[in-house]
Amino acid sequence: MKKQTKPPALSWRAIRHSRNVIEINVPRLDYGEFSALLTSDWHWDNPHCDREKLAADLDEAVARGAPIFSIGDTFCAMQGKFDKRANKNSIRPEHQRGDYLDSLVSTCTDWLMPYRHNLALIGQGNHETAIYGRHETDLIERLTSRIRDRGGITQAGGYGGWVIFRFGVGSKIQPFRLYYHHGFGGGGPVTKGSIDWSRYLMHAEADAYVAGHVHYLNSDTMTRAELTMTNQVRKRNILFIRCSTYKDEYEDGFGGFHVEKGRGPRPIGGQWLHFKMVNASGFHGLKAAVTSTV
């Protein structure tokens, strides 16, 4: 990890409008480029988390001056006293303490300090909601509150929510709506979770959708025709973005829960969401594209 002694010069600021709506305000885009790092399923406290790869991706985001989003399962948090999933081989030495959950929050806060000015949002995942249900404590709210207490900007998000990017282009504002949801289901080995997008389209109206949970990595584009107020037909691209994980459960395939269930290796990394103005008129001047960090 890189050690930051002062906040980097950023071309954006984060504004929280409600508990599950955050705005990334970019005053000037024009013909420049802007990128955001989308991640999921860090499982940061698990011994199988590839922290070197995670740190490398976060370091690159800092170098680019990019906002960072984590949309759930930042923690594994399965080694608590009353957790039936607990396994002594799946706990790091620094978390082998009586205040297990407290230690997850404090050590993760320390680890994330170099990224506190870029880490805009950490959402809930099923691992965090399980802890809330069992132990009545919100790990994500506690983590993000500590980061802000130490000079960071990180907000707690929900299991689902919206990120509104607003780009200043000349005298106009170009919006881009990203709907995030941690994910659901098992993600079949053939579809890799792609069927889920039809449900998201039913639930929320957005320009792009991002999910995690199933530890696959892919992206797709759907194009829709729309009729404008002046009876002109225009086409709009909608992005579907699946973030993978930073936990390598497969390793060499020797054994373990992941291998016993017939699950293979998973990509390790997240996704970059890139924005660029290709012309200066109308909504379609804003172009969005996706590349992976894998």
pLDDT of res. 289: 95
C-alpha to C-alpha distance for 240 and 198, rounded to whole angstroms: 10
pLDDT band with cut points at 50, 70 and 90 for residue 280: very low
204 — alpha (psi -120 to 50), left (phi > 0) or beta? beta
Mean pLDDT across 7-35: 89
Single pTM value for the model: 0.91
pLDDT surpasses 90 at 178: yes
Architecture of domain 13-292: 4-Layer Sandwich (3.60)
pLDDT surpasses 70 at 5: no
Q: What is the residue whose two structure tokens read 């969005």?
A: 288
Helix (H) or strand (E) holding 37: strand 33-39
Which of 239, 288, 258 minimizes the C-alpha distance to 87? 258
pLDDT of res. 282: 45
pLDDT surpasses 80 at 247: yes
Structural domain boundaries in the chain: 13-292
